[in-house]
């Protein structure tokens, strides 16, 4: 270095690389109303599509009369299954190996199902025409309970051959979808039978919906002159959509361009392929002009992508002093009318087999049965990796129930069963290999931060005061310790529709030392444009402010499997680091040439290569970029570009320790969150500000799910929560301030040690809020009560326990 060289810390700070709370580059446009979401996309001559939907949950469609609708001024087309059939598009494959009606083919199987697609001049005319389509239905018996469905003579899916196996093996009944299992049933049963203590519990994880603020939508434009189809849409996996669109339509993949513009939140809702996308594409092909389809909120809640709906029956065994010896879990999974779960192909119940949680449990068994009912299809991972919220809720409730059985403190029960630091990499009884963790340190830090013992003392005093009639408020201390499994995933066992779940990054360094990097993922608010530039800044030594990140346009971005299951950082983040390292490797050769030394005689130092032992001799990355384009370097191609397709060797396993302190008014059922402490360990931290933001958001979605949000059906199959009047989305008024904290246990196999964080707070948050409610009533004999804990249900719990007498 010379006198003009800024010191190392200053150079590191200038890069705004990893570890820095860099302000987001996205925000300038979003705060000024200049985002470009799918409903902002306008094309010349564009028509609007709208659906005729079934008011019935199960009915035969006897006839559809479109004459009156077609006669309305401004209506261009009305599509029904009959129109799609010649194109073989009246049904489409689902991500789960099943198929789904695009438009009702002979019958409807859930309320809100798509029956006909009206295409008109504008959205008002389209909505008018929807009212004019006459559909003659004949009602059929409705099944909304999976247990009744499995015992019913009523055949829901008449299209499936009776007795024929499904995508995941034999089916036990005409309304059965699959049986899937993991672990050792016999050994588990034996351990539980001979155990000193066994706790059993049945729990229902209710159906809910991701409900991003922006609903789903698409604009399809078929350019018949050039034979090119362009589709803008709310796609969490744009490249997969292109491949599926090609396979379905027969249009060659190079003639399809799929673009995910700005996305107004996804949370799993925008992973699947929906009839609206297909109909917009077909309508554009038919009419020759662009067609826009935008869901309204009611359609969103009723038809696209529910989450959860798991009936879980558990048995957990332990020694008298609380060492867990075995775990048994049997799930009945309500998948609705079509199996449209968004899981990797080999995992029809997602990663539910992470349900041994953070505990060293020697034997375990999990069985899952998927069932058809007259409810909307979906089963997406709502702000979690595949079914991980269900798994973590299950084990964190079973721990609480076992603690009651053992008359033991639930924090202590967790502590004595945690997988120990020295056991990692740890292979769980249900097969997963946990990469790294230090659970005891995190737990101790969390309990100390909240003064756990003090809380328990206060709670005991409160119970006494309540019994003396001095207060009507109980206090609950909710605990949860979760381990997530994210970053799907190794191609060897994770694929979607046959496509391995790798991800990608392509970097071009410009001659003046700035860069563009494109990834196979797509941000829906996570801030990729900000954080991926930070990874690169640290890896290649150019300032993050000089690096543009682009995603979502399949014509320019490298193929990737998209953003869900917290996979962007674990997979595309790794690809970014690896592509950066390829850039650095070439830069090293260029630097050595420029400095007239051997390649091995230079080393990377923040933003430059220096000659080893002579740091005053250096070439900055900016110098190197310039040379790559302006100088003939023997043995090297001009230019400075790299691409990496990354197949992760393993998943990553973020974890965390949460504590919620709640006061519950037993007479109104209103829970008041006094305190919420969240410690997250997501490995290496790229942008602490963004991480904290993700945690606040994930916890708030957890609060919603635990304390009121649900999609419920009546016996007729009517959706009871189809507008935001009834579907609980918390406002600023209901949400507390959260305390965030962290430990750092890097992933040993990830190039930068990062594990992913976006979904952890939801996964850990739901059981924590739920446990807080249930813990408040534990002194009065409550063992378990199902979510959502809305005011009415909490009041009922208090009433059932005799607290209103």
Return the active site residues: 236, 383-384, 759
Q: Show the site string, 482-521: x = touches another protein by CB under 8 A, - = not.
A: ----------------------------------------
According to the binding rule CB under 8 A, does residue 33 interact with another protein? yes
Of 406, 330, 395, 365, nearest to 191 (Cα)? 365
40 binds another protein (CB under 8 A): yes
User: Does 744 participate in binding another protein (rule CB under 8 A)?
Assistant: no
32 near another protein, rule: CB under 8 A? yes
Binding of another protein by 720 (CB under 8 A): no
* 121 binding another protein? (CB under 8 A): no
Tell the burial category of 286 from Cβ atoms under 10 Å away from its Cβ (0-12, 13-18, 19+). middle
Size of the site for another protein (CB under 8 A): 58
Q: For residues 59-88, which are near another protein according to CB under 8 A?
A: 73
Look at phi and psi of residue 409 and say left if phi exceeds 0, alpha if psi is from -120 to 50, else beta.
Answer: beta
Looking at beta carbons, which pairs linking 586-591 to residues 24 or more positions away fall under 8 Å? 586/628, 586/636, 586/640, 586/642, 587/540, 587/621, 587/624, 587/625, 587/628, 587/640, 589/633, 589/636, 590/619, 590/624, 590/627, 590/628, 590/633, 590/636, 590/640, 591/618, 591/619, 591/624
Closest listed residue to residue 463, CA positions, set 122, 83, 124, 803: 803
Strands 228-233 and 256-259: parallel
Q: What is the rounded CA–CA span in Å between residue 271 and residue 562?
A: 8
Q: Is 805 an interacting residue with respect to another protein (CB under 8 A)?
A: no
CB of 40 to another protein, least distance (A): 4
CB 333 within 8 A of CB 147: no
Tokens 């991003």, located at residue: 212
Q: Residue 161 gets which letter from DSSP?
A: P
Touching another protein, residues 414-473 (CB under 8 A): none
Dihedral sign from CA coordinates of 548, 566, 343, 221: negative
> Interacting stretch for another protein, rule CB under 8 A, among 37-45, 82-90, 574-582, 641-649?
37-45
Given the rule CB under 8 A, which of 392-400, 565-573, 717-725, 775-783 is the region that contacts another protein? 717-725
Closest among 771, 769, 758 to 384, alpha carbons compared:
758
The yes or no reply on residue 716 touching another protein (CB under 8 A) is no
Q: What residue has token string 């996305």?
A: 263
Binding of another protein by 265 (CB under 8 A) = yes
Residue corresponding to tokens 């005093």: 461
Residue placing its CB nearer to another protein in the complex, 312 or 690: 690
- List the one residue out of 93, 95, 246 whose CA is nearest residue 559: 246
211 near another protein, judged by CB under 8 A: yes
Could you say whether residue 723 binds another protein (CB under 8 A)?
yes
Q: Minimal distance in Å, beta carbon 369 to another protein? A: 32
Options 649, 729, 796, 804; binder of another protein; rule CB under 8 A: 729
Nearer to another protein, 123 or 581 (CB): 123
Contact status: 344 vs another protein (CB under 8 A): no
Q: Which of 279, 313, 420 is nearest to 360 (CA)?
A: 420
Q: Is 735 in the site for another protein (CB under 8 A)?
A: yes
Q: How far is the CB of 595 from another protein (least distance, A)?
A: 41
288 to 70, 217, 221, 280, 281: CA distances (angstroms): 18, 19, 8, 11, 10
Q: Which of 692, 759, 775, 790 binds another protein (CB under 8 A)?
A: 692
- Work out whether 690 is an interface residue with another protein (CB under 8 A): yes
Judged by CB under 8 A, which of 45, 65, 71, 124 binds another protein? 124
* Among the listed residues 314, 527, 558, 570, the single contact to another protein using CB under 8 A: 527
* Shortest spacing between CB 696 and another protein, in angstroms: 3
Query: With binding defined as CB under 8 A, does residue 276 bind another protein?
Result: no
Which residue, 33 or 498, is less far from another protein as judged by CB? 33
CB 689 within 8 A of CB 665: no
Q: How many CB atoms lie within 10 A of CB 281?
A: 25
Sign of CA dihedral 759, 763, 764, 768: positive
Query: Does residue 672 interact with another protein by CB under 8 A?
Result: no
* Sign of the torsion formed by the C-alpha atoms of 110, 376, 720 and 774: positive
Supply the minimum distance, in Å, between the C-beta of residue 602 and another protein.
Answer: 39
Residue 133 CB, nearest distance to another protein (Å)?
Answer: 18
Query: Looking up tokens 């059985």, which residue turns up?
Result: 405
Tell me the closest approach of the beta carbon of residue 528 to another protein, in angstroms: 11
Query: Is residue 123 close enough to count as binding another protein by CB under 8 A?
Result: yes
Is the sign of the CA dihedral 139, 140, 146, 147 positive or negative? positive
The pair of structure tokens assigned to 24 is 């987001």
796 interacts with another protein by CB under 8 A: no
Task: Scan residues 283-322 and list those touching another protein (CB under 8 A).
Answer: 294, 296-297
Q: How many residues belong to the chain?
A: 805
Task: Tell me whether residue 27 or residue 253 sits nearer to another protein (CB atom).
Answer: 27
Candidates 99, 696, 784, 791; binder of another protein (CB under 8 A) is 696
By the rule CB under 8 A, 731 interacts with another protein: yes
**Chosen residue from 146, 212, 233, 756 binding another protein by CB under 8 A:** 212
Binding site for another protein (CB under 8 A): 23-24, 26-35, 37, 39-40, 42, 73, 122-124, 211-215, 262-265, 267, 294, 296-297, 524-527, 689-690, 692-694, 696-701, 723-725, 729, 731-733, 735, 737-738
């Amino acid at each position: 270095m010379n006198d003009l060289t800024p010191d190392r810390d200053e150079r590191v700070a200038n890069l705004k690389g990893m570890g820095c709370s860099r302000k987001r580059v996205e925000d300038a446009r979003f705060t000024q109303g200049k985002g470009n979401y799918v409903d902002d996309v306008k094309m010349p001559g564009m028509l609007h599509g709208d659906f005729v939907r079934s008011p019935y949950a199960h009915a035969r469609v006897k006839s559809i009369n479109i004459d009156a609708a077609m006669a309305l001024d401004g209506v261009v087309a009305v599509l029904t299954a009959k129109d799609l059939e010649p194109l073989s598009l009246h049904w489409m494959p689902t991500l789960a190996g099943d198929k789904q009606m695009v438009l009702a083919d002979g019958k409807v199987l859930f309320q809100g199902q798509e029956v006909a697609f009206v295409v008109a001049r504008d959205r008002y005319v389209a909505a008018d025409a929807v009212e004019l389509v006459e559909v003659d239905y004949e009602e059929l018996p409705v099944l909304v309970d999976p247990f009744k469905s499995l015992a019913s003579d009523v055949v829901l899916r008449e299209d499936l051959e009776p007795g024929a196996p499904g995508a995941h093996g034999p089916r036990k009944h005409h309304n059965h979808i699959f049986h899937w299992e993991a672990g050792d049933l016999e050994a588990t049963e034996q351990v539980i039978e001979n155990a000193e203590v066994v706790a059993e519990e049945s729990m229902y994880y209710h159906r809910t919906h991701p409900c991003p603020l922006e609903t789903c939508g698409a604009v399809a434009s078929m350019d018949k002159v050039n034979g090119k189809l362009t589709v803008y849409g709310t796609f969490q996996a744009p490249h997969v959509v292109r491949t599926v669109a090609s396979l379905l339509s027969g249009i060659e993949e190079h003639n399809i361009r799929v673009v995910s513009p700005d996305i107004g939140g996804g949370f799993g809702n925008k992973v699947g392929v929906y009839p609206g996308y297909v109909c917009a594409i077909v309508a554009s092909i038919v009419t020759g002009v662009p067609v826009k389809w935008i869901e309204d909120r009611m359609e969103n809640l009723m038809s696209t992508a529910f989450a959860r709906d798991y009936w879980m029956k558990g048995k957990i065994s332990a020694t008298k002093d609380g060492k867990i010896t075995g775990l048994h879990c049997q799930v009945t999974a309500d998948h609705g009318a079509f199996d449209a779960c968004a899981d990797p192909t080999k995992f029809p119940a997602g990663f539910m087999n992470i349900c041994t949680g953070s505990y060293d449990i020697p034997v375990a068994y999990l069985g899952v049965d998927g069932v058809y009912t007259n409810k909307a299809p979906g089963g997406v991972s709502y702000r979690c990796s595949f079914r991980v919220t269900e798994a973590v809720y299950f084990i964190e409730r079973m721990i609480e129930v076992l603690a009651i059985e053992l008359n033991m403190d639930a924090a202590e029960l967790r502590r004595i069963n945690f997988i120990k630091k020295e056991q990692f990499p740890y292979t769980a009884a249900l097969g997963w290999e946990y990469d790294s963790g230090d659970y005891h340190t995190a737990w101790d830090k969390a309990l100390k931060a909240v003064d756990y013992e003090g809380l328990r003392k206060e709670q005991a005093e409160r119970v006494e005061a309540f019994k003396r009639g001095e207060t009507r408020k109980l206090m609950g201390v909710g605990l949860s310790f979760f381990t997530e499994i994210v970053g799907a995933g190794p191609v060897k066992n994770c694929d979607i529709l046959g496509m391995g779940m790798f991800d990608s990054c392509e970097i071009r360094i410009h001659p003046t030392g700035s860069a563009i990097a494109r990834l196979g993922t797509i941000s829906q608010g996570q801030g990729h444009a900000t954080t991926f530039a930070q990874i690169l800044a640290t890896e290649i030594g150019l300032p993050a402010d000089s690096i543009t990140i682009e995603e979502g346009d399949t014509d320019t971005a490298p193929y990737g499997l998209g953003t869900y299951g917290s996979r962007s950082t674990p997979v595309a983040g790794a690809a970014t680091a690896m592509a950066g390292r390829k850039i650095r490797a070439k830069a090293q050769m260029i630097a050595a040439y420029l400095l007239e030394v051997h390649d091995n005689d230079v080393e990377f130092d923040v933003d430059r290569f220096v000659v080893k032992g002579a740091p005053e001799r250096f070439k900055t990355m900016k110098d190197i970029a310039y040379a790559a384009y302006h100088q003939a370097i023997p043995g090297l191609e001009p230019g400075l570009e790299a691409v990496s397709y990354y197949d992760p060797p393993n998943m990553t396993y973020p974890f965390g320790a949460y504590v919620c302190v709640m006061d519950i008014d037993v007479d109104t059922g209103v829970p008041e969150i006094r305190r919420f402490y969240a410690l997250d360990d997501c490995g290496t931290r790229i942008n602490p500000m963004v991480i904290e933001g993700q945690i606040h958001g994930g916890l708030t979605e957890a609060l919603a799910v635990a304390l009121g949000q649900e999609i419920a059906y009546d016996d007729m199959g009517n959706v009871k929560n189809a507008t935001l009047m009834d579907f609980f989305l918390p406002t600023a008024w209901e949400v507390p301030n959260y305390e965030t904290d962290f430990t750092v246990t890097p992933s040993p196999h990830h190039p930068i040690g990062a594990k992913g964080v976006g979904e952890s707070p939801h996964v850990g948050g739901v059981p924590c809020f739920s446990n807080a409610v249930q813990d408040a009533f534990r002194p009065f004999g409550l063992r378990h009560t199902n979510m959502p804990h809305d005011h009415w249900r909490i009041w009922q719990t208090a009433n059932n326990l005799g607290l209103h007498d």
